[in-house]
Structure 1
């Protein structure tokens, strides 16, 4: 199966929203910040120095992730999702591998992410890629976030 990782295009914004809304609703509840970012992803991610990428199989977008700018050398990996019909095909790992390589090419120092201990499979993959658990801030943006991980590049 050939998966290409492609950059954001405004035409893909609804797919970014749908993929993320689907997984969040499967495990949690959509929060106001989710809707804000997903409905305005170009303005609040891309235009603020961040990036969004998609996994594409032939003509179908199968997954996505965002890199949200924290500062010049630190980015947050977020809004990673794979369409349910394509799960189990290691697309998430391909997206994550691309994200890490992209960060290294940009000479960033750190990737961080916030997740939930309910998402055991995701946490396993993050650890496999070298992310380590670090102390989480007391007032994180999402109620579902109960773990913070960091990868030093």
Structure 2
């Protein structure tokens, strides 16, 4: 199975939104912060120093994730989604492997992510790649978040 990880191009903006809205609507709902990031992902993520990547499989764009710049060398790993029809093919793990390698190549200090204990498969993948649970701050970016994890990057 060949999965290609490709960088953001404006033609993929609607795919990024669609992949994320699908899982958000399945498990939760689209929150105001989601709207900001998904409505114009290029302006909200790329133009502020972040990155978006996509997983391509058999000529279809089937997954995505983003790095949202928080400060200097700390990024939020967010908006990770895999099309429901392609789940179970290790695409999420391929995306995580790429994400961690990319962060190491960039010599970033750490990655943080917000998730929910209602997503055990996602949490398993995060733990598998070294993310550790840390204390949640008070003003959370998402109402659905009941867990925060971080990965310290060591070169």
Q: Normalising by structure 2, report the TM-score.
A: 0.97
Separation (CA, whole Å) in 2 of partners of 1:84 and 1:50: 25
Q: In the alignment, which residue of structure 1 is the partner of 2:10?
A: 10
Separation (CA, whole Å) in 2 of partners of 1:140 and 1:90: 29
- Structure 2 regions of 5+ residues with no counterpart? none
Separation (CA, whole Å) in 2 of partners of 1:58 and 1:7: 17
The structural deviation recorded for 1:29 is 1.1
Separation (CA, whole Å) in 1 of partners of 2:81 and 2:54: 9
Q: Normalising by structure 1, report the TM-score.
A: 0.98
- Structure 1 regions of 5+ residues with no counterpart? none
Q: How many residues align?
A: 153
Correspondence 1:93 to 2:97 = no
After TM superposition, where is structure 1 displaced by more than 2 Å over at least 4 residues in a row?
Answer: none
Correspondence 1:133 to 2:139 = no
Correspondence 1:147 to 2:147 = yes
Q: Secondary structure at the match of 1:45?
A: helix
The structural deviation recorded for 1:58 is 3.0
Q: In the alignment, which residue of structure 1 is the partner of 2:121?
A: 121
Separation (CA, whole Å) in 1 of partners of 2:14 and 2:65: 14
**Mean CA deviation greater in 3-12 or 24-33:** 24-33
Q: In the alignment, which residue of structure 2 is the partner of 1:79?
A: 79
Q: In the alignment, which residue of structure 1 is the partner of 2:64?
A: 64
